[in-house]
Structure 1
């Protein structure tokens, strides 16, 4: 069975310094010159940016910092039939956004509202996230807070996937991980990397994976000529996590999934 492609989106320079990860990429898509994209983008501009991502292939995509997590919407939109979105994130990304805009904090609410996914499971979300209350009335959104035991989360994920059927799209923001396993510019949860890898294994054994993305890189200052020690340590920590996540996704995909869920262009 063919392995999925590994795509790297150079949304800024954060991934450029992860040399070992860059060597594993099949396709590198450069968006560094795209203004009006970090954090928030006008929808009409976002549609133009999506055209630059069409050369990516079905598979696993690294998006850069979580500031660009809304790029996930493009890759989800290419999946057919509608997938179940499993989001590992310390934030639900289900906030409201201004009319005509898509943001890194609202994209999940938008793909649900637009019917792009069957259901969304947010795993490891902060127990203080305001969407925990809002989502309780929406059967399409299941939020599993960070203080829920790992085994309970696993059982809920398996149950939901068995009910929903069809392909799964996995989106990972490393801010769901503890500071021991990743370094981001956002507040972080306390899931361990081993727990995250176990979740991926369970998902792959339960349903076919149609695509995946990873974000949550350490934001590199654009005006800094040399990295300081903090930048080096945190970028290195993230690269270790990224490679382990990639290796697990590739292993699970090769074992249990098919690349047969992409809409024809």
Structure 2
């Protein structure tokens, strides 16, 4: 399992306080002092940001708060192939953004339109999300809303993956999880962590995975002295979820590496 690169991008302070997660990292990049990239960035600023990540290859990457989910594009661009994107997220991230910009809410739309991904499979999306309700058309995407039973989600996602020959890139925003299973600064869904881990266990045998990232950290103050009891509790709960997700993803890559040498 140790052959897989684990990248931790400290785009926000919370990841820096997850000491057990940091110990598992292959690379740690501190972007906490960068300005103009949280939530929404002008393309010139985003391209400059990508230069700071140029040495990070796709593996298992922790991006920080969901406000930085658009960093997923860096790893998609490094693949040199066009994968399916399997997105676990309470939001589709398919909004329009102003010309010349990219945001944590628009990056999937851009990835589809610019053919950086073959298609997007969104799991756990809010049933009221505009993309899911049909207000965003012309996007090659499939949706499995939060209120769909877990077994139906699994069956539908597996069919989507099997129906396409492309490998899969996994992106996880912990806001897909039930409040209490993780803590984020966005409205959260209803998926249990065990259900997410069940997905990852099944996917291990169903598709070639070429990379994964995780976001959705709690926005605690940068200086630990200002952390409330709630901040400390939420950071530790998120670290617990991150480590379980990391273990599940490492099993996927270990399974693939074992099969590749047979």
Q: TM-score, normalised by structure 1?
A: 0.93
Change (3 A) 1:239 1:149: same
Paired residues for 1:155-234 under 5 Å? 155-222=155-222, 225-234=225-234
- Residues 201, 248 of structure 1: 8 Å contact kept: yes
Alpha-carbon offset, residue 184 of structure 1: 0.5
- Residues 130, 136 of structure 2: 8 Å contact kept: no
Aligned residue for 1:85?
85
CA offsets, 1:202-239, max 9 Å, x none? 22211111000000000012366331100010001000
Aligned residue for 1:16?
16
- Which contiguous aligned blocks of 4+ residues in structure 1 show a shift greater than 6 angstroms? none
Aligned residue for 2:150?
150
Q: What SS does the aligned partner of 2:111 have?
A: helix
Q: Which runs of 5+ in 1 are unaligned?
A: 261-265
Q: Distance in 2 between matches of 1:78 and 1:178?
A: 32
CA offsets, 1:120-156, max 9 Å, x none? 0010000111111337854620011001111111111
Q: What SS does the aligned partner of 1:50 have?
A: helix
Q: Distance in 1 between matches of 2:126 and 2:213?
A: 20
Task: Check if 1:46 corresponds to 2:46.
Answer: yes
Q: Distance in 1 between matches of 2:186 and 2:137?
A: 28
Between 15-24 and 219-228, report the one with greater CA deviation. 219-228
Aligned residue for 1:247?
247
Q: Distance in 2 between matches of 1:118 and 1:219?
A: 32
Q: Which runs of 5+ in 2 are unaligned?
A: none
